[in-house]
Amino acid sequence: MAKNIGFISTRFAGTDGVSLESAKWAEMFWEDRHVSFWYSGRSDRHPDISHCVPEAYFGHPENLWLLDKIWKRTQRTRLVTERIQEITAYLKNTLYDFVERFGIDVLIPENALAIPMHIPLALAITEFLAETQMPAIAHHHDFHWERTRYAINSVMDYLEMAFPPTMPNIRHTVINRAAQEQLSLRKGISSMLIPNVFDFANPPPQTDDYARDVREQIGLRPDDVFILQPTRIVPRKGIEHAIKLVGMLGNPDKYKLVISHDAGDEGYEYETLIKDLAREENVDLRLISDRIGDVRQFDAEGQKIYTLWDLYPHADLVTYPSTYEGFGNALLEAIYFKVPLVVNRYSIFIQDIEPKGFNLVVIDGFITKETVNEVRHVLDNPKARQKMVDYNYRVARQYYSYRLLRRCLRTVLTTVTGYQP
């Protein structure tokens, strides 16, 4: 019998990993006629299948006030505790409303029980599952112990209780082996590894009329080499390595480094550093976040707003020199669009991705002359480039396809509900 699946997160909107991967899960569930519904504080899902509770959004003023009172300090006030408990009780009631409204059979908390961006929401989910014993599949993308900013806090009791909770009615899934090992070590919880995936059975769409002028619109000439850094400007993305690489290529009139997204919610000091470094290295740096959005549209001045996927077909090279990633969606995206990659050997790449045998330009924490020579070879030899990207696509289709996701979801749903398709 088909199930009604209830996804829960602080946000289902935009191009963050949680929003993207949860949509893929819902697509795979639909193949077995399971219907997905969405509970969140902010949502771009259809209103008829969504239950939007503004207080569940991590950016809600009440939650931001709480975050300011609990991180980087070891003691919390009685008022903070009372507010956490009051918001938890309110959100738990809205979860009951959500489940009753859509007849939910299985809940899927999406990272809400892993990264503590919204303590009351996690507590509400935990209490709800304890009270109802409803089957749940917790999809963990990144844990609090992976981020130094959560190390000093006044909510260790809540972290132990709900990030994640240990209950017989919850099955846990993670996106990398390091998380699987740490979850077992720290909490005694077993989990299933389900990596992020793409629809490698179907090639990406061809560039259409809307996106045909991307290069022109961002100020590139036809013979410029378009080097894309498809990330936000935050320190863990290692963008200084991309600047160093382009600087060592030695021709700012030809090689252009384009960063697709802005600094986000982690401050602008790193962006300032990146701009200064680009000037010192004589790198032509283009920041185009004002031209990139979650959906295609026109801005107030009548300029086109493109999606990230509009950029990949025009890029000659993608740089991905991250120092840490929970998985690496941009890496898979570049492979999907058959763009050659320069990637830093971040820990998850070393443990989970590198053994698969991809043909990439790999750096180990710094740029060398050999790295620059490899990049020149890829950019200057179309046949070698095509051979490289075609090979990577075949490898990704084997290890990171929808077929793998479908099989994993059928297995975990069976273990938590007894359902068999």
DSSP state string for 264-322: TTS-SHHHHHHHHHHHHTT-EEEE-GGGB-SS-EE-TTS-EEB-HHHHGGG-SEEEE--
* pLDDT of amino acid 326: 83
Q: How far apart are CA 322 and CA 234, in angstroms?
A: 10
Per-residue pLDDT tens over the stretch 198-252: 999 999 988 999 999 999 999 999 999 999 999 999 999 999 999 999 999 999 9
* pLDDT of amino acid 328: 85
In contact, 121 and 56? CB cutoff 8 Å: yes
- Residue 209 counted as domain residue: no
User: In this structure, what CATH number is given to the domain that contains residue 160?
Assistant: 3.40.50.2000
Per-residue pLDDT tens over the stretch 87-131: 999 999 999 999 999 999 999 999 999 999 999 999 999 999 999
Whether 252 and 378 share a structural domain: yes
- Residue 202 counted as domain residue: no
> Could you tell me what percent of the chain has a pLDDT over 70?
99
Query: Quick check: 12 pLDDT over 90?
Result: yes
For residue 170, what are the domain limits?
4-197+402-417
- Residue 15 counted as domain residue: yes
Q: How many domains does the chain have?
A: 2
Query: Quick check: 264 pLDDT over 70?
Result: no
Residue 46: which region, alpha, beta or left (left: phi > 0; alpha: psi -120 to 50)? beta
Whether 265 and 190 share a structural domain: no
In contact, 98 and 134? CB cutoff 8 Å: no
Query: Quick check: 48 pLDDT over 90?
Result: yes
Query: Quick check: 2 pLDDT over 80?
Result: yes
> Could you tell me what percent of the chain has a pLDDT over 90?
91
Q: Calculate mean pLDDT across residues 272-288.
A: 96
Q: How far apart are CA 169 and CA 13, in angstroms?
A: 28
Whether 384 and 408 share a structural domain: no
* pLDDT of amino acid 421: 61
Whether omega before 168 lies within 30 degrees of 0, making that bond cis, reads: no
Per-residue pLDDT tens over the stretch 373-382: 999 999 999 9
Eight-state DSSP code of residue 244: H
Whether 406 and 395 share a structural domain: no
The amino acid at residue 346 is Y
The region of weakest confidence among 13-17, 160-164, 347-351, 354-358 is 13-17
- Residue 59 counted as domain residue: yes
Per-residue pLDDT tens over the stretch 132-181: 999 999 999 999 999 888 999 999 999 999 999 999 999 999 999 999 99
- Residue 203 counted as domain residue: no
Rounded to two decimals, the pTM is 0.89
Q: How far apart are CA 279 and CA 372, in angstroms?
A: 19
Output the six-digit token pair for 85.
């408990």
* pLDDT of amino acid 267: 72
Terminal alpha carbon distance of the chain: 8
